[in-house]
Structure 1
Amino acid sequence: MSLVISHLARRFGPTPVLRGIDLAVEQRELIALLGPSGSGKTTLLRIIAGLDWPDAGGLSFDGDDWLARSAGERRIGLVFQHYALFPHMTVRDNIAFGLSVRPRGNRPDRAGIADRVGRLLRFLQIEGLADRYPAELSGGQRQRVALGRAMAIEPRVLLLDEPFGALDAQVRRDLRRWLRGVHDSTGTTTIFVTHDQEEAFELADRVVVMNAGMIEQAGRPDEIYDHPATPFVARFLGLTVEVPVAMRAGRAEAAGLDLTALPRRAIPDGPATLFLRPADIQPLPDPAAPFRVTEIVSTGALLRIMARDDAGCRIEAEIPRRDGRDLREGQPVALRPVTGQIFPAGGTLAARAPATPVTLKEAFA
């Protein structure tokens, strides 16, 4: 079974919010929709959930046209950032709600509902909270209850919209690991929205990077991290140092930069831009180098090194503090990137989104 999104478009007045989204999500996959605010992530999630409708395009699940189905008929589980629990109901009643309001013909009997809720309470490790009210719970406990309520209806697809955004950093990390375990145990197809890169890369089988209503790149987390396909993806994933270079016979060249560690690229000769992460740049003392250290800032374990040449090119490097003991402000340094991504002037390395939905097998080939 797969969820297939094809050429999906949505406008709010004159503003395009989704501009031709194509994506296939396979059964048991955990997909992260990653991107900045306004990229269309939540709108896409709402359309999948049946809370909004597109202006064009298709949406089907296992061959069934979901655009002809109401939200209730799709049997979607939804978890929001701010929980949306019923404050006047206990944890037990919140989890049971989706089952108790089903039409009589599809509703389990009272004993069946109690049994399913009891199993979920044990599975989610909140059995001791069953008779408490939401106001008596911590943020992490409320999010588990919200997930339990979504799972109670045995959803075909579980949708999570910034599920950990309202929690502090340590609770988020703990719940991320826990959620991955829940997903693997249940085998539910899961799609979650986030702007947190660490969250997306830790949790997801595939990451879909969105920007301005389009899919910039989709693939395995390591693939996207190591090989961003567009300048937007590179910048969004932390390749914030941009250096003009010249390409000659597949090699990048730039004054003051030792680029020998970078492999040859199939890029035509001419101007290009090298995108780097500060942590992937090694500053090396060199009296003949055109760059000079202008600032050294310690963050505890790391040193941030600012270097500048006479032409005004400013580059930031980040190294372990123990590796920077010999560096001083004013010192000439050569800069040696160990990895990076290169884009030809005005170009990208791959098409943004395929014209037809891509299956999991094809995407991982």
Structure 2
Amino acid sequence: MSLAISHLARRFGATEVLRGIELEVPQGELIALLGPSGSGKTTLLRIIAGLDWPDAGRLSFDGTDWLAKSAAERRIGFVFQHYALFPHMTMRDNIAFGLTVLPRAERPGKTQIAAVVDGLLQFLQIGGLADRYPAELSGGQRQRVALGRAMATQPRVLLLDEPFGALDAQVRRDLRRWLRGVHDSAGTTTIFVTHDQEEAFELADRVVVMNGGIIEQIGHPDQIYDHPATPFVARFLGLTVELPVTMHTGRACAAGLDLTGLPRRAIADGAATLFLRPADIRPVPEATAPFHVTEIASTGALLRIVAQDAAGCRIESEVPRRDGRDLAVGQAVSLRAAAGQIFPTGAPIGAVPAETPYTLKEARP
């Protein structure tokens, strides 16, 4: 069984929020929709849930047209950022709610509902808090209750909209590891929305990077991180240093830059743009190099080093503090790139760079 989305489009007035979305999610996979605010992530999630409707396109699950079914008929579990728990109900009653409002013909008996709730309380590791009210719980505990309520009806697909956005950093880290374990144990198809790159990469089997209503790239987290497919993905994932280079027989060249560590690219000779992460740039002392160190700042474990040439090209790099002991302000340095991505100059946002395909097993370790 899989969820299939084809040519999905949605507009609000003159604004195109989704523009021809194509996506297939196999049974049991955990997918992250990653992108900035306004990229269309939540709108896509709401359409899958049956809370909104597209202007064009198809949505099906296991071959069944979901656009012909109501939200209730799709059997979706939805977890919101702000929990949306009933404050007058205990944890136990909140989790049971979805079962108690099922049509009479489908509604389990009270004994069966109690058994399902007890099982979920133990599964979610909150059994000792069953009779507390939401106001008596921490944010992380409330989010576990919200997840339990979504899972109680045995949804075909579980949807999570920024599920950890209202929590502090340490609780988010703990809960996302816990959620991955819950997903693997339950085997439910799960789609979650986030703008947090670390969260998406740690949790998801595949990441769907969205921007301006389109999908820029889909792939395993490592594949996307190492091989961003478009300039937008490169910038969004931290390749914030952009340098003009010249391509010659598949190699990038630029004065003061050591780019021999980059693989050959199937890009035509001529002007191109190199995208680098500061952590992938290593300043190397070289008396005749055109760059000079202008700033050095310590963040504890790292040194932030800024180098500039006579033309005003300013490049920021990050190196482990112990590796930068020999550097000083005013020193001439060449800049060695350990990894980067290259696009022909003027490449449109959706242009995929030509390079040797990157292969990686989809299964998580």
Question: After TM superposition, is the score higher than 0.5?
Answer: yes
Query: What's 1:197 paired with?
Result: 197
Aligned 1:129-278 pairs, distance under 5 A: 129-278=129-278
1:33 is aligned with what amino acid?
L
2:128 is aligned with what amino acid?
G
Distance in 2 (alpha carbons) for counterparts of 1:310 and 1:16: 45
Contact map agreement 2:205 2:362 (CA 8 A) in 1 = no
Distance in 2 (alpha carbons) for counterparts of 1:351 and 1:117: 49
Contact map agreement 2:216 2:350 (CA 8 A) in 1 = no
Contact map agreement 1:229 1:348 (CA 8 A) in 2 = no
2:12 is aligned with what amino acid?
F
Query: What's 1:78 paired with?
Result: 78
Query: What's 1:296 paired with?
Result: 296
Identity %: 80
2:285 is aligned with what amino acid?
P
Contact map agreement 1:343 1:349 (CA 8 A) in 2 = no
Distance in 2 (alpha carbons) for counterparts of 1:119 and 1:277: 46
Contact map agreement 1:281 1:337 (CA 8 A) in 2 = yes
Aligned 1:330-341 pairs, distance under 5 A: 330-341=330-341
For structure 1, the residue ranges without an aligned partner over 5 or more in a row are: 353-362
Distance in 2 (alpha carbons) for counterparts of 1:211 and 1:196: 14
1:3-23 superposed Cα distances (whole Å, 9 cap, x missing partner): 000000000011000000000
Aligned 1:39-50 pairs, distance under 5 A: 39-50=39-50
Does the alignment pair 1:31 with 2:31? yes
Query: What's 2:69 paired with?
Result: 69
Corresponding residue pairs, total: 356
Distance in 2 (alpha carbons) for counterparts of 1:124 and 1:228: 36
TM-score using structure 1 length:
0.96
Measure how far apart 1:196 and its partner are: 0.2
User: Once structures 1 and 2 are overlaid, which stretch shifts more, 32-41 or 343-352?
Assistant: 343-352
2:304 is aligned with what amino acid?
R
2:123 is aligned with what amino acid?
F
Contact map agreement 2:250 2:269 (CA 8 A) in 1 = yes
Distance in 2 (alpha carbons) for counterparts of 1:151 and 1:237: 32
Larger RCO (alpha carbons 8 Å, 6+ apart): 1
Q: What is the RMSD of the two structures over their aligned residues, measured on CA atoms? A: 1.5
1:275-302 superposed Cα distances (whole Å, 9 cap, x missing partner): 0000000100111010011111111100
Distance in 1 (alpha carbons) for counterparts of 2:335 and 2:46: 47
1:15-70 superposed Cα distances (whole Å, 9 cap, x missing partner): 00000000000000000000000000000000000000000000000000000000
Does the alignment pair 1:4 with 2:10? no
Measure how far apart 1:346 and its partner are: 1.8
Measure how far apart 1:345 and its partner are: 1.1
Measure how far apart 1:350 and its partner are: 7.2
2:139 is aligned with what amino acid?
G
Change in CA separation of 1:164 and 1:219 when aligned onto 2, cut-off 3 Å: same
Query: What's 2:54 paired with?
Result: 54
Distance in 2 (alpha carbons) for counterparts of 1:347 and 1:223: 21
Distance in 1 (alpha carbons) for counterparts of 2:350 and 2:83: 38
1:166-205 superposed Cα distances (whole Å, 9 cap, x missing partner): 1111100000100000000000000000000000000000
Measure how far apart 1:347 and its partner are: 2.1
2:190 is aligned with what amino acid?
T
Change in CA separation of 1:40 and 1:113 when aligned onto 2, cut-off 3 Å: same
Distance in 2 (alpha carbons) for counterparts of 1:308 and 1:46: 48
Distance in 1 (alpha carbons) for counterparts of 2:268 and 2:350: 15
1:71-122 superposed Cα distances (whole Å, 9 cap, x missing partner): 0000000001100000000000000000000000000000000000000000
Distance in 2 (alpha carbons) for counterparts of 1:241 and 1:345: 15
TM-score using structure 2 length:
0.96
For structure 2, the residue ranges without an aligned partner over 5 or more in a row are: 353-360
Distance in 1 (alpha carbons) for counterparts of 2:191 and 2:241: 32
Measure how far apart 1:348 and its partner are: 6.1
Contact map agreement 1:208 1:217 (CA 8 A) in 2 = yes
2:251 is aligned with what amino acid?
R
Contact map agreement 1:162 1:192 (CA 8 A) in 2 = yes
1:106-151 superposed Cα distances (whole Å, 9 cap, x missing partner): 0000000000000000000101110000000000000000000000
Distance in 2 (alpha carbons) for counterparts of 1:177 and 1:15: 37
Aligned 1:100-119 pairs, distance under 5 A: 100-119=100-119
Does the alignment pair 1:281 with 2:277? no
Query: What's 1:96 paired with?
Result: 96
2:302 is aligned with what amino acid?
L
Measure how far apart 1:312 and its partner are: 1.0
Contact map agreement 2:261 2:338 (CA 8 A) in 1 = yes
1:225 is aligned with what amino acid?
Y
